[in-house]
Each structure stands twice: as C-alpha cells, then as structure tokens.
Amino acid sequence: MKRKGLLLNDFYTLKDQYFTYGKVMLALMVLACLINISSELTELSEVAYLMSPFAIFAMSMMMTLFTYEEKSGFMKYAFTTPVTRKSYLQEKYLFSLFNTTAGILVGIVFLLMYALFHKYVPTVQDISWMLLFSGGEFLVSMVMSIWVIALNMKFGIAKARSILLIAMVAVVIVGTVSVPASSLTAANSFPGMQWILIAFLFLFVAATVWMFCMSFRWTERKEL
Amino acid sequence: MNALEIRNVSKNYDRFQLEHVSLELPQGCIMGLIGENGAGKSTLIKAILDLIQKDSGEVLFYGKPLDSSQTELKEQIGVVFDSIHFHEVLTPLQIGSISALTYQNWDENLYQKYLKDFKLPEKSKIKDFSKGMKMKLNIAVALSHQAKLLILDEPTAGLDPIARDELLDIFLDFIQDETHSILISSHITSDLEKIADYITFLHEGKLLFTKSKDELLYDYRIAKCGEADFQKLKSENGAVWRKMDYQYEVLLPDGKTIEHNYPDCPFDHAKIDEIMLLYVKGERV
C-alpha cells in the first residue's frame, strides 16, 4: 500500500512533463511522417529509429524524477513516513518498469500508425522483427534506468548524470572503433575483437547486476 | 510514560560531533530544542528519525526502539521540516491522495477540515503558495494521520508573527488531550516561551541542559552588577557571566533564592534567548 502512495507521487510529479514530452513527440512524429510522405515503405525495419525516442524518453523521465526529488527533498520526507527504504527503492524500479513499458508501447503504436500512413500493411516478419527490436530497446532502457537509480542512490543525481554521460560517450567511442574491427569480412578486422566485445558485454551485464544489488545497500545507508 | 527517549546518541562528522545526547520527552508535553546555528539540533532530529546513521545510542518511542524498519511506529509520528518536501507542481488534493495511500490511519475528513481552517486552496499548486501556506499544509498533513508525536524542525522560521501565532495555537490544541507530544526545534525562543513545557539546550554538539521552562523563566536570574558584587556572584553555583562595557551580566540558575543576598544589585528574570547568549558567549568557573 505504501508503494502505491510513492507511485502516485511519482506520477503526479511527472504529469506535466509527460504532457510536454507527449506534445513534443507528437510534433516530431508528425514531422517525420510529412518529411517522408512521398517515400515508399518496403520494410518496417527501415524506420526502426522512430521507436527509439520513446524508449529514451522513458529512461530520461527517471533522471527528471530524481532531479525533482533532490530539489524538493522528497526522499528525506519519505523516509520519515511508514515507507521503508527498501520499499522506496523497489517502487523506483517498478516505476521505471512502467515508464519503459509505456514508452515501448507508444513507440510500437506510433510505428504501426506510421506504416498505415504510408499505406503499408505490416507482415508477420515485420511484427516479429518489431517485437524483437522492442525487446532489445526495453532491455537497454531498463539497464539504463538501473544505472540511473543505483548511481543516484550512491552519488546523487548530478554526479549520476555526469557518470552516465561519460559512460555513454565511452560506449559510443568503443563501439565506433571496435564494431568494424570485429567484423570478419571487413578489411581492417581484428580477429580477437569479437571475443573482446563479448567479454565487455559480460562485464557490463555483471556490472549492471552488481549495481542493482548494491543499490539496496546504498539506499539503506544513505544519509539525508 | 515517555513519548520519546533518546539514550546516549552520538554522531561524528569530520568537523562536528554530536556527543552522547540523552533526553526524555514526557507524554503530553512540548519540548523545545534550542541552540545556536550548527549546535546539532537538526542532526539530533535526523538521528531520531533515522535519516542518518547513529554512531551510538538508541531512540525509543513509547519504549520501543525507533528505526527505519519500524513502519508501524512511524504511523504515529508526524514530521514537519522547515520547508515542504513535495514537488511544487502538486496540489493539496494530490498530496492528500498520496498520504492516504501512505498512512493506514489517514483521516481524509480531518485533512479537509484543516485545509478549510487554514484557507488552503486544494486545487492550487504548491508553487503558488506563500511560505506560511506551505508550512500550514505541512502541518495539516502531519496532523491528519492520528500522530501521537509531532517532530518539528524550525516550523515557524520565516513566518510573520500572525502566522506564527496561528501555528502555535494549533500546537497547543494538539496536546490538549495530554496523549500527544511535540518536539520542536526553533530559533524563535519567544515562541517556545509561549508553548514549551521543557527546554533542551544544545551547544556545539553537547547537551547543556534539559529543564522545565518554568524553572528557566522563574528561577533563573540575570544580575547586572559592578565589580564588587560580581566577585561574590561568580562563585555562586552554576554562575555564567559576561563582561559588558560598564558592568557584568551574571546568569544565576538559582537566582530566585539568592537575589535577596544582594540588595544593591538589580536582578531580572532571564529570558530564554538571554540564557542562550550567556551560555554560549559567557565564562564560568
């Protein structure tokens, strides 16, 4: 019951943001439809990128929420109420799950509407691909949310944002350099790079699981 | 029965230590917590509420240990900080909905009554409220879940005298039935003189005294005297003094008893802020 109160607080806190983002996203999507109005759609995967903003938006809402909470000092108040620190953290993960799921669903709906706008009927293969892509986006968005929540509990939202920014830049640089080098057919491929990338992926997954587990300890020990 | 017992609570920071603070708040009473800026009042309140980790000691609420896992005890504690901790886009109506899901004993009718009595528009966003209105909203929430103990950290800071007076009346109403208690930290000692039963003085992380307000206001005296009387007064039990330009000010805990021994020396009743000032800036044997 206590988590319902926290969920409601989070929803009310972000309500205006949802409306603002919704209007912006709607405008961007209308623009996307109009810009590509004359082009023919042959496969849904051609416009996969149109789903991404919704998943990113869902993850960024967690950052916005923590920024607002830090500004208002809500966590300090919440820990004086009959809400345990563990419940507080569990609710944050639950809220990020709702956010991410909603973001992905809206992305799917938009993609289908985009297809219909271009008089394209999605095939079974398109739907399968879309679900696979959505699953991947869901995982990425949830992983990002775990990092946001955990780092916020440890360092506060300002430092968490900086750390995440550095991490994302590092991933982009590493990906830009290493993905071509890992390709078996590319002229500049590096044979061992695939294994390095796989090892990196394992490390990243392990780090994410560790962050998730440690976030509960950090929350218990957080001083306000 | 004590509503709140603090036993030997300590907390160490790099540049500040809260040292072995012990106090008891009897049920049905109001205890004022005073001290200069940085004395440790807020640190003590945070330690009571388990917002920080205590290095030692324990806090008991009606005899039961109070920590963050004791959610059923926290149902009975209302907390008011010096600012409202909900996001500014929320309305009192939304805060009521959130609180109803947070507290088992939430009384929506009572909350609505407080909103009406305090003239708080229930559908307006908090960001449009004045400081006084925000504080009243804070108090409305704290009073609407059948709390037995109110912990208030500077609740009247920044309020005009009229708003402060209204809040003090609310606090006095709260303890009328003698089953409710209040721990209030404040710099505004005149407010505590109006409502407090006990005064606890913290100075540089140490508890200097916990005394009844009546003892402070009626037994304590401040003598303003010359050198000759000062030399005799400074050896009285518990004397604290300060040298002013042309005289000495001597605070005497037992002034009521000894003032007749000094017929040429004017003795005044001590106010709480004067007692604070002398304890902080004064000298003693």
**Nearest neighbour of B101 by CB, restricted to A5, A68, A69:** A5
Question: Would the CB atoms of B85 and A73 count as touching at under 8 Å?
Answer: yes
Give A11 to chain B, closest Cα distance, Å. 10
Domain that holds residue B34: 2-213
Q: Among partner residues B79, B85, B98, which is closest to A5 by beta-carbon distance?
A: B98
Are B163 and B246 in the same domain? Answer: no
Identify the pLDDT of residue B157: 83
Give how far A220 is from chain B: nearest CA, Å. Answer: 9
pLDDT over 90 for what percent of chain A?
A: 38
Contact B71 A12 (CB under 8 A): no
| B-interface mutation test, from A3, A4, A6, A9, most B Cβ less than 10 A away | A9
Shared domain check, B91 and B55? yes
Q: How close A13 gets to chain B, by Cα (Å)?
A: 6
Q: Tell whether A64 is within 8 A of chain B (Cβ).
A: no
**pLDDT grade, residue A189 (50/70/90)?**
low
pLDDT tops 90 at residue A34: no
Is A1 part of the contact surface with chain B (CB cutoff 8 Å)? yes
B85–A77 C-beta distance less than 8 A: yes
In this model, does residue B146 exceed pLDDT 80? yes
CATH number for the domain spanning B192: value is 3.40.50.300
Q: What secondary structure does DSSP assign to A184-202, as a single string?
A: SSSTT--TTHHHHHHHHHH
Res A183: pLDDT = 54
Q: Between chains, do B87 and A74 touch, taking CB under 8 Å as contact? A: yes
Same domain assignment for residues B256 and B227: yes
B83 touches chain A (CB under 8 A): yes
CB within 8 Å: A84 and B69: yes
Contacts of B49 in chain A (CB under 8 A): 79-80
Q: Which two tokens stand for residue B202?
A: 């913290």
Q: Is the Cα dihedral A56, A62, A66, A72 positive or negative? A: positive
Instruction: Classify residue B82 by its DSSP letter.
Output: S
pLDDT for the residue numbered B174: 93
Structural domain ending residue among the three candidates B181, B198, B213: B213
- Whole-number pLDDT of residue A180: 63
Residue B108 has pLDDT above 90, yes or no: yes
How many structural domains are present in chain B? Answer: 2
Task: Kindly state whether residues B180 and B228 are assigned to the same domain.
Answer: no
**pLDDT tops 60 at residue A187:** no
Mean pLDDT over each residue of chain A, to the nearest integer? 85
Q: What is the pLDDT of residues A13-29, one digit of tens each?
A: 999 988 888 888 888 87
Q: How confident is the model at residue A191 (pLDDT cuts 50, 70, 90)?
A: low
Asked if B68 and A84 come within 8 Å (Cβ–Cβ), the reply is yes
> Two tokens at A139?
């995982």
pLDDT per residue over A107-158, tens digit each?
888 888 888 888 888 888 888 888 888 898 899 889 989 999 999 999 998 8
Residue A121 CA, chain-centre distance (Å), reads 28
CB A8 within 8 A of CB B98: yes
Of A44-48, A71-75, B131-135, B143-147, the poorest mean pLDDT is in A44-48
pLDDT at B147 over 60: yes
Q: Give the tens place of pLDDT for each residue, B48-69.
A: 999 999 999 999 999 999 987 7
Q: How many CB atoms lie within 10 A of CB B208?
A: 17
Q: Are residues B190 and B228 in the same domain?
A: no
Angle at A160 between CA A172 and CA A87, to 5 degrees: 125
Q: Residue B119, by phi and psi: left (phi above 0), alpha (psi -120 to 50) or beta?
A: left
Helices A85-117 + A193-221 axis angle, to 10: 130
B275 and B169 co-located in one domain: no
Query: Do B260 and B130 reside in the same domain of the chain?
Result: no
CB-based burial, A36-56: b 16+ in 10 Å, e otherwise: beeeebeebeebbebbebbbb
B:132-161 residues touching chain A, CB 8 A cutoff: 151
Q: Which of A8, A79, A84 sits opposite B98 (nearest CB)?
A: A8
Q: Which of A35-39, A54-58, B166-170 has the lowest mean pLDDT?
A: A35-39
Clarify whether residues B165 and B88 are in a common domain. yes
Mean pLDDT across the stretch B62-81? 90
The shortest CB-CB distance from A85 to any of B46, B68, B94 is to B68
Q: Give the H or E element holding residue A205.
A: helix A193-221
Q: Are residues B192 and B254 in the same domain?
A: no
pLDDT, position B102: 94
Instruction: Identify the domain boundary among B174, B193, B213.
Output: B213
Does A17 contact B at CB distance below 8 Å? no
Same domain, B57 and B102: yes
What is the per-residue pLDDT for B107? 96
Question: Is the Cβ of A23 closer than 8 Å to some Cβ of chain B?
Answer: no
Over the stretch A197-206, which tens digit does the pLDDT of each residue have? 888 888 889 9
Range with the poorest average pLDDT among B4-13, B79-88, B142-151, B228-237: B228-237
pLDDT at residue number B202:
95
Strand order in B17-26's β-sheet?
B17-26, B2-12, B56-61, B64-65
How far apart (Å, rounded) are the C-alpha atoms in residues B78 and A70? Answer: 21
Among residues B190, B213, B236, which one ends one of the domains?
A: B213
Give the pair of three-digit tokens for residue B34.
């005073």
pLDDT at B91: 96
Highest mean pLDDT among A168-182, B107-121, B222-236: B107-121
| Closest approach of A210 to chain B, Cα-based (Å) | 24
Amino acid letter at A33? C
Can you give the pLDDT at residue A36?
Answer: 65
- Residue contact B53–A223, C-beta within 8 A: yes
Reported pTM? 0.88
Residues B8, B43, single domain; the answer is yes
CA end-to-end span of chain B: 37
Closest CA in chain B for residue A86: B69
Does residue B66 or residue A55 have the better pLDDT? B66
Quick one: pLDDT at residue B129?
Answer: 94
Across A54-79, average pLDDT: 89
Between CA B240 and CA A89 the distance in angstroms is 51
Query: What ipTM was predicted for this assembly?
Result: 0.88
pLDDT of residue A188: 53
Chain A interface, best mutation among B13, B83, B102, by max A CB count within 10 A? B102
CB of B182 closer than 8 Å to CB of B171: yes
B11, pLDDT greater than 60: yes
Reported as a pLDDT band with limits 50, 70 and 90, residue A181 is low
Same domain? B154 vs B227? no
What is the arithmetic mean of pLDDT over B218-232? 88
Higher pLDDT, A147 or A52: A147
